Structure 1
Amino acid sequence: MTTHSSSSWTNFKDAISKGKFAGNVNTSTSGYQSGTAGLDCSGFVGGAAGFTAKLGTYDLASSTYTATIAPSSIQIYDIYVKAGDHVLFYTGDAGTTISTREATTTGDDKAKAYSRTKSFLSSQGYSLRRFNGF
């Protein structure tokens, strides 16, 4: 079963610029919803958290949906977010690095497990946040 399109775009950002919609809901036997571009990072995080509407990184960085937390309070599936850029799930700590789950819009456009340094996230302006009500 295929879960991608052979349409005329090269990656997620290209598809969005051509008027396609974020998301790839498996509603047919082919596994691909026509006119969709897959999930970006905020679509992945919002979908996994159970939001019923598409939230962007600005939304996920706002007090409407999340609250800033101290690193000493971090729990699995808290998020690191940089408004206007990227969001990822925290899934574990290994000293100076953390394990993450995140979707990318480059390369294979997949959700992946990564290892990130805390110093990189801090130097790039990411904030550590928790979903309101969690």
Structure 2
Amino acid sequence: MECLSEDFRFSPDPSDSTKFEEVFSEPWDRAREEAFARRFLDKNTISSLSLSLKKEYEEDRGDEHYFEYSYILQIQHSLDLPGYMEGRMHLTLKRDTSGNWSIVLWKDEKISDTPTVGELRARF
């Protein structure tokens, strides 16, 4: 999880924030993201995963870089969770004093009635 900055934040789509208010009432920081990733990537839970990304926009802001990607995430798992998610991720990366880039903000956007990775985080 070295790609996440110390002050990383995940920001769910507003509809997911409302639907899963008990989960997202506290900031989703680096520690919560790392815990989610460990559970999510457990080989006993997830049997396969496919992620498709399409870059929609990119902006270089000097020591900050902004990306928008449409995503489709398909997973096979042993839990009562959606197996297909789609949305748009808005990523802000910043360069530290050593010149390394890390993600400081990941905003999730719902683009259809399909679940998002925000819902996956909330239900996992």
Q: Which has the higher contact order (CA 8 A, sep 6+)?
A: 2
| Rg (Cα) greater in structure | 1
What TM-score, normalized by structure 1, do the two folds share? 0.26
Comparing both structures, which one devotes a greater share of its residues to strand?
A: 2
